[in-house]
């Protein structure tokens, strides 16, 4: 499936400020953001549907994730083998994924095979088979993932943190479901999940490549026009409810894994860019404070980071670290200390200048392929960001001042609110 892509350059590196984005609406009312680029005979499409695993009911946890894993396992009158052979013949690269807030469908195709490739993709979107053999096989794969997660400290800590932080909300559930809910899922549940997850009113589309605006409208209607207009109600906005403090989960291992979090801000918050730059200084990258203090100066870990997690209906500021059992308590306390220091003292001009230089210099590298740009276009629509965001983002980063960072740090960083989950056998900390 990838041989032809290896023979021709699918990448075209565009500087962020040079991307010319059009908004195209089909006769059927489907809107896409579009970059026309004829220098390479490749077309990439990325489709996002709002909802994702969060629309699963408690009893049907894991249904959306399993359904998305089955979309390329047979469609129309083709079984899984025939579908894969057709994709191989066309040299088309598909992706079908599920997340907490969305499901995504992607394709990168040769221009000469565009019509046939889109017909094949249309079958996967509109006429998946969910036949017995494929259903059993993919379900078994997800069951294997669930079993593996029970022995993965990072999965254990993350699942516990979300279960506590969002108790009673859809975000508290795992995307794959539980062994019990997964075992109970049926092929009819797959058809129901398909109808609920893939709906026109919640779609965002990005398309990049060797295609004209005149061709794009009919393509959108052929792919998506037959889908239902609306789906089930989306989850409500929520906040974290877990009490601050430390929970230790006993796990036999020479090292412990810690994950910590408290409430943060949504992507649409006016302070988000400042918060993003602030977090880069705090815990993203080699010269970040956390890496310097926890790894370089004290040698407590090989890796430590902090990151913003802006879901559609909630947001977290998180950090993670792994260390030997006799060092994890110190690592966590150093992280708390840096959280406190930045909240109270802010950042320096030198730190801000270095962060801005890195963030603006690395940004164009995100757009090094048709697929990367198409994914960004769909994501910008999904996040309700303006169509010129790619072209103005670096200016927004450069406009951030030390005063902005310090104000946002004081607003958002709450070390006393951190919920900490440690999986392992840490010295000096009792198992919960």
| Average pLDDT for runs of 10 along the chain of length 432 | 30 51 96 95 98 96 98 95 97 96 97 97 97 96 96 96 95 96 97 97 97 96 96 91 91 96 96 98 95 97 96 96 97 97 98 97 92 96 95 96 98 96 90 60
Res 71: pLDDT: 97
Res 265: pLDDT: 96
Res 11: pLDDT: 32
**H, E, C per residue of the chain:** CCHHHHHCCCCCCCCHHHCCCEEEECCCCCEEEEEECCCCCEEEEEEEEECHHHHCCHHHCCHHHHHHHCCCCEECCEEHHHHHHHHHHHCCEEEEEECCCEEEEEEEEEHHHHHHHHHHHHHHHHCECCCHHHHHHHHHHHHHHHHHHCCCHHHHHHHHHHHHHCCCCHHHCCCCCCHHHHHHCCHHHHHHHHHHHCEHHHEEEEEEECCCHHHHHHHHHHHHCCCECCCCCCCCCCCCCCCCEEEEEECCCCEEEEEEEEECCCCCCCCHHHHHHHHHHHHCCCCCHHHHHHHHCCCCCCCEEEEEEECCCCEEEEEEEEEECCCHHHHHHHHHHHHHHHHHHCCCHHHHHHHHHHHHHHHHHHHCCHHHHHHHHHHHHHCCCCCCHHHHHHHHHHHCCHHHHHHHHHHHCCHHHCEEEEEECCCCCCCC
Res 14: pLDDT: 41
Domains in the chain (CATH in brackets) are: 3-224 (3.30.830.10), 245-424 (3.30.830.10)
Res 431: pLDDT: 60
Res 13: pLDDT: 36
């Amino acid at each position: 499936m990838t041989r032809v892509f290896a023979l021709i350059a699918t990448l075209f590196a565009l500087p962020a400020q040079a991307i010319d984005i059009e908004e195209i609406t089909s006769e059927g009312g489907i809107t896409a953001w579009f970059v026309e680029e004829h220098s390479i005979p490749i077309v990439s499409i990325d489709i996002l549907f709002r909802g994702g695993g969060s629309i699963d009911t408690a009893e049907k946890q894991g249904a959306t994730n399993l359904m998305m894993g089955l979309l390329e396992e047979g469609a129309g009158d083709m079984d899984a083998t025939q579908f894969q052979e057709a994709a191989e013949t066309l040299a088309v690269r598909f992706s079908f994924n599920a997340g907490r807030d969305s499901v995504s469908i992607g394709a990168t195709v040769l221009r000469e095979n565009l019509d046939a490739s889109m017909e094949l993709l249309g079958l996967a979107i509109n006429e998946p088979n969910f036949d017995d053999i494929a259903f059993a096989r993919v379900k078994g794969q997800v069951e294997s993932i669930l079993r593996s997660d029970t022995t993965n400290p990072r999965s254990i800590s993350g699942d516990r943190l979300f279960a506590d932080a969002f108790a009673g909300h859809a975000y508290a559930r795992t995307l794959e479901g539980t062994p019990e809910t997964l075992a109970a899922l049926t092929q009819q549940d797959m058809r129901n999940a398909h109808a609920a997850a893939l709906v026109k009113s919640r779609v965002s589309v990005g398309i990049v490549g060797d295609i004209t605006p005149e061709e794009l409208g009919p393509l959108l209607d052929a792919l998506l026009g037959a889908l239902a207009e609306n789906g089930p109600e989306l989850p409500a906005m929520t906040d974290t409810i877990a009490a601050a403090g430390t929970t230790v989960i006993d796990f036999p291992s020479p090292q412990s894994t810690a994950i910590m979090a408290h409430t943060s801000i949504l992507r649409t918050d006016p302070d988000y860019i400042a918060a993003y730059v602030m977090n880069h200084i705090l815990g993203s990258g080699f010269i970040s404070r956390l890496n310097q203090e926890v790894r370089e100066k004290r040698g407590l870990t090989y890796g430590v980071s902090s990151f913003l997690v802006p879901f559609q209906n909630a947001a977290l500021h998180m950090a993670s670290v792994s260390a030997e059992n006799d060092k994890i308590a110190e690592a966590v306390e150093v992280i708390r200390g840096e959280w406190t220091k930045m909240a109270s003292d802010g950042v320096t001009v030198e730190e801000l200048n270095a962060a801005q230089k890195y963030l603006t210099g690395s940004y164009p590298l995100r757009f090094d392929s048709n697929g990367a740009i198409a994914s960004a276009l769909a994501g910008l629509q999904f996040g309700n960001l303006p169509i010129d965001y790619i072209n103005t983002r670096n200016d927004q980063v450069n406009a951030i001042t030390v005063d902005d960072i310090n104000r946002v740090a004081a607003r958002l960083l709450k070390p006393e609110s951190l919920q900490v989950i440690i999986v392992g056998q840490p010295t000096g900390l009792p198992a919960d």
